Amino acid sequence: MGLAARPGLRALLRALCNRSPRHAFAGHALSRPADSLLDDPAWVDAAMRRSLCLVFDSQLHCFARGGAPAWLPYAQLDRTAEHTAILLGDDAAGRAPLFAVGSAAALAGGASGGFSPLRSLASLASGARGAEALARAGQARNLLHWHARARFCGACGGRTAARKAGWKRECAGCGGELFPRVDPVVIMAVVSADGERVLLARQPSWPQQRYSCLAGFMDPGETLEEAVRREVQEEAGVSVAEVFYHSSQPWPCGPSPQLMLGALGIADTDTITPNLSEVADARWADRAEVAAAIDAARNASRGMDNQRDPNPATLVLPASEAIAHNLLAAWLEAPISSLDR
């Protein structure tokens, strides 16, 4: 009953998938010590004494200097301050172990720099070392976020305490074990059946011109592909025929530690019926519009243009640290015009 996809479109979108682009916050490249070492408090204590630490405040803002996460030698921290400390791992070069520390009070001695939201550091991370530093800070924030939400046992209400250098919590009440987890979220660039347009939506809290891909937390009991279809149907009233996994990204900037599962989809209906209790608007955008917005977002990320376009009619898309940006760019760069009509 739906619209038939343009011949060749499925094969073309599928070919874009599973190529693992380099997303922001991916590629932390730390090797976690063996469980036998993490289980030994004396070993962990010794590792901490020769470590470099990344400090977060109670809002989980990251201690930064010059726009980059600032790793401080353990000796410089105030060790009397109560804190959560997580051993992230050793980097490949075998230098000092890296720890995440969740306490602004640990900086009492005074260190030059300040606390910044992680996302504001993303656009400044450049080059392989910058990307790696950002990914390590993202993992640190995800873990600290989990610790803050797992202080009590959900099953019995007992207090939990960190074990395994922060990679486990144990309940004093029932003895239950809790492990760091992430919430899977689907995010999708849904392409029209002719391949020429992509579905965008706007959250009620966003400025008028700001749009992105639709996204949503996965429900228990569904596959990735089913979650994509459900979200797009619920939020935009659009039916999705084909769904292809594209790539994934750890996302430490949301309301919980998230795993973004990025997909491409092909709609088999054209009419959009936005669910106004979920989104402020949903609409199709054509290639010229998206190309201009992607260019503007790239320039903004590079610091070439920190001012938003003053024209209120111009589409504004997420910056390059967001997987939505990369999904839209993948569609834009696909040679759809070469397909049969």
Which residues make Cβ contacts (< 8 Å) with residue 288, sequence separation at least 6?
none
Residue 204 in the binding site for a copy of itself (CB under 8 A): no
Residue 18 in the binding site for a copy of itself (CB under 8 A): yes
Least separation in angstroms between residue 337's CB and a copy of itself is 23
Which of 5, 54, 189, 218 is in the footprint of a copy of itself by CB under 8 A?
Answer: 218
Which of 5, 53, 131, 143 is in the footprint of a copy of itself by CB under 8 A?
Answer: 143
Give me 24's structure tokens.
Answer: 């922001």
Place of tokens 């987890």: 181
Place of tokens 């706007």: 202
Give me 14's structure tokens.
Answer: 């599928």
Residue 35 in the binding site for a copy of itself (CB under 8 A): yes
| CA distance linking residue 253 with residue 257, whole number of Å | 8
Q: Which is nearer to a copy of itself, 251 or 284 (CB)?
A: 251
Total residues contacting a copy of itself (rule CB under 8 A)?
60
Q: Which is nearer to a copy of itself, 27 or 117 (CB)?
A: 27
Give me 241's structure tokens.
Answer: 């025929």
Which of 109, 128, 129, 179 is in the footprint of a copy of itself by CB under 8 A?
Answer: 179
Residue 154 in the binding site for a copy of itself (CB under 8 A): yes
| CA distance linking residue 336 with residue 209, whole number of Å | 26
| CA distance linking residue 63 with residue 101, whole number of Å | 10
Chain contacts with a copy of itself (rule: CB under 8 A): 14, 17-18, 20, 23, 25-28, 32, 34-36, 135, 138-140, 142-143, 145-146, 148-157, 159, 179-184, 217-226, 243-245, 247-250, 252, 257, 259, 261, 277
